[in-house]
Amino acid sequence: MGKYINSFVQVLNNKYNYKPLGLLKKDNLCNNEDYFSFGFANYIAWEQLSLLKYRNQSKGPMIFPYNTAPLFLKESPDNILILHDVIFLNRSPTKSLKQKIGQLYRSFIVPVIVHKFQHIITVSEYSKNQIIQRLKVSPEKIDVIPNSVSLTDNFENENPDFEDRDNVIFHIGGEPDYKNSKMLLYAFAGLPISIKENYRLKMIGIRDLKTLNEYRTIAEQLNIIDNIIFLDYQTDLEIKELYQNSKLFIFPSKEEGFGIPIIEAMKYGCSLICSNASCLPEIAGEGAVYFDPNDQISLINAITSTLDDKKAIETRILQGYEQVKKYSFEAFEQKIIFWYKNRFKL
C-alpha cells in the first residue's frame, strides 16, 4: 500500500505539479520536509482523533490511502479513499494478535466511513465488485486503478532462460488462512519423487514464530523438511533474484484484492502457477497455469504438468510478458490522468 500511494502522488506531482504532504503519527522519525508527524503515537488513536482534528482544520484534497479513515469524518468531495480490498470482512483465522486487531478495526470502521466518500479507488474489478456487493456502495463512486511495476524497454531480455534457473519452487505467502500457504506444503509432499528429490521449495512471508514452528513441524511429519527453505525478511533485490533464479512461482491464495507477486513473477519471467480464485485470473490472464485452491490434487497436477512441458512453459512466460505490460507504470500513470480529468478535478 505504501508503494501504491507513493507512485500515485508521484504522478500527481509530475503531471500536475501537486506537492503532497505525507501525514504521520507522532514519533515517526522523518526529517523530510514532505512529511508531517503529529498527534498520538498509537495509530488507531492517531487516525480517529489526531487526523480527524487535522482534517477539520485543513482545506483542499486529502487522500486516505490505507483502507480506513476517521469514523466521524465529514463528507466532502475533497476526500479520496483508496480501498484495496475487503478481505478483512471474512475474518480469516490468524494467530497474529496484530492482524486480529487490524481485522476487527477495519471491519468496524470501513462499512461506516465508506459511505462518506464520493471518490473511492480500488485496484481490481474483483475488488470493485466486492465493495459494491458487500458494502452496498454505488458503482459510480468507484474507479479501478491497478497496481503497477516498473518495466524497462527490454525487460524480457534481462531474465535468465527457464533451463538456466535453479530447481526452485518459489512462494510468497503469509500467516492468514486465505493465503493458503500451508496447502503448498502438502502439495509438495505429494509430488512425484522425480520432482520432489530434485527441487527445493523456498517460502517467504511466514514471520510469526509460532506459525513458522507449525510449518516446520508439518514439513517434518511429511518428511520434506530437507527440501523446504523458510526465508526471513528479503530485500527487494533479494526477492528479484529469487524470482529470476526459480523455475516456478506458486501463488495459492483463496482471496486477494490484486496479488502483486503475480505481476512481479511475470515481469521476471518466472513460470507462474496460481489459484483460479477471486481476482487472480483477472490479473494473470493467459500468463499463468491455474488450479483449484481448495483441491490439493489440482495443485499437484498443475505443478507436474507444467514441469513436464517445457515448450508450454516458454509460451506461458511470453504470454506473461505481454500481460504484465498492462500493469506498467506508464499504464498506471494513464489511468490516474484519466481519473483526474474525468472524475476528480483537483
Model confidence over 149-202: pLDDT tens digits? 999 999 999 999 999 999 999 999 988 889 999 999 999 999 999 999 999 999
C-alpha–C-alpha distance, residues 26 and 47, integer Å: 11
Question: Which helix H or strand E contains 244, and what residues bound it?
Answer: helix 236-245
* Sheet containing strand 62-64, strands side by side: 62-64, 79-82, 119-122, 142-144
| Residue the block writes with cell 503529529 | 38
DSSP state string for 129-173: HHHHHHH---GGGEEE----B---TTGGGGSPPGGGSEEEEEEE-
Please tell me the predicted confidence (pLDDT) of residue 207. 87
Strands (E), 47-114: 62-64, 79-82
Strands (E), the chain: 22-25, 35-38, 62-64, 79-82, 119-122, 142-144, 166-172, 200-204, 228-231, 246-251, 271-275, 288-291
> Whole-structure pTM over 0.85, yes or no?
yes
Q: How confident is the model at residue 103 (pLDDT cuts 50, 70, 90)?
A: confident
DSSP state string for 11-37: HHHHHH-----EEEETT-----TTEEE
Sign for the pseudo-dihedral over CA of 279, 285, 287, 288: positive
C-alpha–C-alpha distance, residues 326 and 303, integer Å: 26
- Residue 135's nearest CA partner among 120, 114, 117, 118 is 114
Taking residues 223-238, report their average pLDDT. 95
346 pLDDT exceeds 60?
A: no
Taking residues 31-60, report their average pLDDT. 92
262 pLDDT exceeds 90?
A: yes
Model confidence over 138-148: pLDDT tens digits? 999 999 999 99
- Cα 144-262-264 angle, rounded to 5 deg: 100
Amino acid 237 reads L
Please tell me the predicted confidence (pLDDT) of residue 345. 61
Does residue 257 contact residue 122 with C-beta atoms inside 8 Å? Answer: yes
Please tell me the predicted confidence (pLDDT) of residue 175. 85
39 pLDDT exceeds 60?
A: yes
Q: Which domains does the chain have, with CATH numbers?
A: 2-148+328-342 (3.40.50.2000), 155-326 (3.40.50.2000)
Taking residues 111-133, report their average pLDDT. 97
C-alpha–C-alpha distance, residues 153 and 277, integer Å: 32
Please tell me the predicted confidence (pLDDT) of residue 245. 97
